[in-house]
Structure 1
Amino acid sequence: MSNSALQVEIADRVARVTINRPNALNSVNAELHTALSRVFVDLGERRDIGVIVLTGAGKAFCAGGDIEWMKEAVREPEGFEIVTWEAKRIVYSMLDCEIPIIGRINGDAVGLGATLALLCDITVMADHARIGDPHVRVGLNAADGGGFLWPQMIGFGKARELLLTGDLLSAAEAKQLGAIGNVSTADELDAKVEALVSKLKNGATKAIRWTKAGYTIPLRQLAHGHMDAGTAYECLTNLTQDHHEAVEAFASKRKPVFSGR
């Protein structure tokens, strides 16, 4: 399950999954995206694991899509079809995995990073971190799960604003709105996570697994109703001039000038 971009360590009934591109703020490239689409399927099949911890190496949890990967999708849009297929697998597999997933949100969780955080069953977020879905700021629609997850987590009122503006929330704001469950100082983050790990790995495994299987039913239904249309729209926005402009602007470290095309 491990590769250079995604590390998996299993010991004492705990699987620790680490997004491992710290020099790129754990932004998602093709290798990492493929690994994320498979890892929770592989872990979910096991019966020797009581809990999964998902986190990021270095300063960030996950900063969203890698800009070079976005450039490649602009140059070769047919390859984006694979990306959208994998995006569905990531969402479905995290919801289908009956093993509870704890999100150790050690830094910013942006775009797909925010989706990964929201898909975790329990979240502990460092108080300096931010979370949000700024797909629209790069000319893409929020198709990797954020479009249905944010309204479910925090309600439609604020979720619509955040999805349409791409604004990020502080950890305190995210907790207040219900997007994440716990906020901790960086120094206390591991202790808080490990206390939760201990409760789950030493709990009644089958009862815990099947409790998750039950409460995820509505989210799984929403996911299957949303993801096909969402990813189709993302394929379309990948072809727009506004997305191409945003990618070039990001690479040039300037503000994009959108034309609405």
Structure 2
Amino acid sequence: MTSSDFRCLRLDRDGDVLRVTIDHPDSKINAVDDDLHHDLTALFRHLKQVDDARAILLTGSKGVFSVGGDFDWFKTLDSPRRVFDLHRDAKQMIWDLLDVQLPIVAAVNGHAMGLAANLALFCDVIFMGESALIADPHVKAGIVAGDGGTAIWPMTIGPARAKEYLLTGDPLTARDAERLGLINHAVPDDELDEAAMAFAKRLAAGAPMAVQYTKLAVNKLIKEALSVSFDAATGYEMVTMLSEDHGEAIESFLNRRPPEFTGR
């Protein structure tokens, strides 16, 4: 597996650490579209088979992790078949991520929104630059939080706080995310990469089987939460993606005006 296998991801090695960088060539903010969604789905499937590294570092390029779904792309998800295929891949992506045996350190080097936020939170240890924001703003797009956020946010910060942020889509600063226990470490922007890589190398230096099997054992708890909520949340999301309110959210965003939701 090399960078040539992907269009929107860059792979590099630093000793025993495999660095994966989200780097969409057509988006300065690494927005998720068909190309990036496809690459992320393939990435975690392939990472399950990596045996020549001992840890993974996941980060973004251009000073941003990923802002989540591209609103122009949302407009193309206009049929039950398109929506079904998208969520089939999204489910596989999350479950494959949790089945990656190597420890994954996230270095959130800029805004992480929607799917990107949840991918970071499903990593094993999360570092975040102080200027970055993290949020799951699905509701602002008129759709249900269907990328695993309904499982991982309550697990990390509790149901009440999770609902506060999932029902509003409000962002958290790195320091607030650290204070609430959503992430592990908030660090100065210019120290982020070094700190995250140092921790990844520390994990890579550990006894591989002990580290990997301990991770997989903990991830069974996360899988249990996903089993409870993921299919329900994605099913509801599939319905709302075809709703008038979702269309209104897209049009209001693209035309820079407040949305007027009707519940249809």
Partner residue of 2:183 out of 180, 184, 192: 180
Partner residue of 1:152 out of 133, 136, 155: 155
Between the aligned partners of 1:178 and 1:184, the Cα distance in structure 2 is: 14
Between the aligned partners of 1:34 and 1:191, the Cα distance in structure 2 is: 29
Between the aligned partners of 2:14 and 2:46, the Cα distance in structure 1 is: 16
Which runs of 5 or more structure 2 residues have no equivalent in the other structure?
Answer: none
Partner residue of 2:222 out of 207, 219, 224: 219
Deviations 1:182-222 (A, max 9, x none): 01111111221121022011111111001101111111122
2:197 aligns with: 194
Between the aligned partners of 1:225 and 1:85, the Cα distance in structure 2 is: 17
Q: Secondary structure at the match of 2:105?
A: strand
Deviations 1:60-108 (A, max 9, x none): 111010111101003x342111110111011101111111100010001
Is the 8 Å Cα contact of residues 28 and 62 (structure 2) preserved in structure 1?
A: no
Between the aligned partners of 1:50 and 1:44, the Cα distance in structure 2 is: 12
Partner residue of 1:90 out of 89, 93, 102: 93
2:77 aligns with: 73
Q: CA deviation at 1:225?
A: 2.8
Between the aligned partners of 1:35 and 1:221, the Cα distance in structure 2 is: 26
Letter in 2 for 1:12: G
Is the 8 Å Cα contact of residues 139 and 243 (structure 1) preserved in structure 2?
A: yes
Partner residue of 2:44 out of 14, 27, 40: 40
Q: How many residues align?
A: 260
Is the 8 Å Cα contact of residues 54 and 102 (structure 1) preserved in structure 2?
A: yes
Partner residue of 2:17 out of 3, 6, 14: 14
Q: CA deviation at 1:53?
A: 0.7
1:30 aligns with: 34
Partner residue of 2:53 out of 49, 53, 64: 49
Is the 8 Å Cα contact of residues 77 and 238 (structure 1) preserved in structure 2?
A: no
Is the 8 Å Cα contact of residues 91 and 223 (structure 1) preserved in structure 2?
A: no
- Normalising by structure 1, report the TM-score: 0.96
Between the aligned partners of 2:162 and 2:212, the Cα distance in structure 1 is: 29
Q: Secondary structure at the match of 1:124?
A: strand
Which runs of 5 or more structure 1 residues have no equivalent in the other structure?
Answer: none
- Normalising by structure 2, report the TM-score: 0.95
Q: For 1:61-140, list aligned pairs within 5 A.
A: 61-74=65-78, 76-140=79-143
